[in-house]
Amino acid sequence: ELTDLEQLSTALSSSNGKTQLKTIETLSTLGSSGEQVLMDFLAKGDRHHPTWVQGTVFLKLRTSESAAVQEFLNREFPQGVVPLKSDRDIDYSPLQALLIEQKFLEGDRLTLLKMCELAGESAMTRKWLYFSEVNQFPRTDLRTINTLWLVYSEGKFGFSVQREIWLSLGKNWDKLWPKIQWRTGKAWTRYPSEFIWDLTAPKGHLPLTNQLRGVRVMNSLLSHPAWTD
Ligand code: UYC
């Protein structure tokens, strides 16, 4: 007969997202034995390809008052659960820190700056992107940025999430905007006050891509080979 903890441990890896979220919640109310299950889950997870379940467990354990838990996190995941791979030597650790803190507005600003850094000096001065620069982004870096958003948002945010919604709508931008709450009726959502900067936002709401200069940059982001190769 399986103990309750064994059942919860199994539920953590093997069921649908909603159940996984509830299981993390339940385990976090069970004291040190529940925390041990959460730590074991992180310890045996795939470090190269973290999922949002790992990110959610990490965020939950971070709130623990147990010294053993904090020691485990500091030893195993001092910067977080996402490996910060870059083909252009860009440091994504400040972005990881903001997203861990759920500072989504600041994280959104920094995401644009990091993509400008990725594009090169002229984009850093310009502070916005040409679609032709986005096309040249290395897959590695775009995946790192995307994974950071995905993993610390319970799977809600990220370019790959926006891409899935966009594909499901037949690549129709006019259908995408209301779906991710970037437009309501005829009115664009106002930056930054009307955007939703927490996990109550609809799926795909963040990160933002300014539409002032048209959809080409967003088209390049969502069509990038990073998502298909
Ligand atoms: N803004 O409305 N946006 C800005 C969005 C538009 C405008 C930044 C997104 C519509 C101006 C971000 C939407 C529009 C600036 C976003 C949105 C508009 C600005 C900061 C829904 C007018 C000042 C980063 C689609 C009708 C800066 C950046 C400037 C800033 C995002 C106006 C992230 C997703 C069409 C005037 N808007 N933006 O890019 O460039 O500057 O003058 O999309």
Residue identifier of the C-alpha nearest atom 40 of ligand 1: 212
Count other C-beta atoms under 10 Å from residue 94's C-beta.
13
pLDDT confidence tier of residue 14, bands split at 50, 70 and 90: confident
Q: What is the mean pLDDT of residues 67-94?
A: 98
Q: Which one has a higher pLDDT value, 15 or 2?
A: 15
141, 118 Cβ separation under 8 angstroms: yes
In angstroms, the CA 224 to CA 50 distance is 21
Cα(65) to centroid of ligand 1, in Å?
A: 41
**What does the pLDDT read at residue 1?**
63
**What does the pLDDT read at residue 82?**
98
In angstroms, the CA 226 to CA 93 distance is 21
Question: Is residue 2 over pLDDT 90?
Answer: no
ipTM for the predicted complex:
0.97
Question: Is residue 171 over pLDDT 70?
Answer: yes
In angstroms, the CA 67 to CA 7 distance is 26
Mean pLDDT of the chain: 97
In angstroms, the CA 206 to CA 218 distance is 12
Q: Is the CB of 162 under 6 A from ligand 1?
A: no
Ligand 1 atom closest to residue 128's alpha carbon, by position in its atom list? 39
Count other C-beta atoms under 10 Å from residue 187's C-beta.
8
Q: What is the mean pLDDT of residues 200-220?
A: 98
Q: Is the CB of 211 under 6 A from ligand 1?
A: yes
Q: Is the CB of 212 under 6 A from ligand 1?
A: yes
Is the pTM higher than 0.80? The answer reads yes
pLDDT confidence tier of residue 3, bands split at 50, 70 and 90: confident
User: Percentage of the chain with pLDDT > 70?
Assistant: 100
Report CA-CA distances (Å) from 196 to 28, 98, 104, 192.
27, 16, 9, 9
Residue identifier of the C-alpha nearest atom 42 of ligand 1: 212
Q: What is the mean pLDDT of residues 13-17?
A: 88
Tell me the H-state helices in the chain.
4-14, 17-28, 31-44, 52-62, 67-76, 93-100, 104-119, 121-126, 131-135, 139-151, 159-168, 173-179, 216-222
Q: Is the CB of 135 under 6 A from ligand 1?
A: no
Model confidence pLDDT, tens digit, residues 138-167: 999 999 999 999 999 999 999 999 999 999
Q: What is the mean pLDDT of residues 104-130?
A: 98
127, 134 Cβ separation under 8 angstroms: no
**What does the pLDDT read at residue 229?**
87
Q: Is the CB of 210 under 6 A from ligand 1?
A: yes
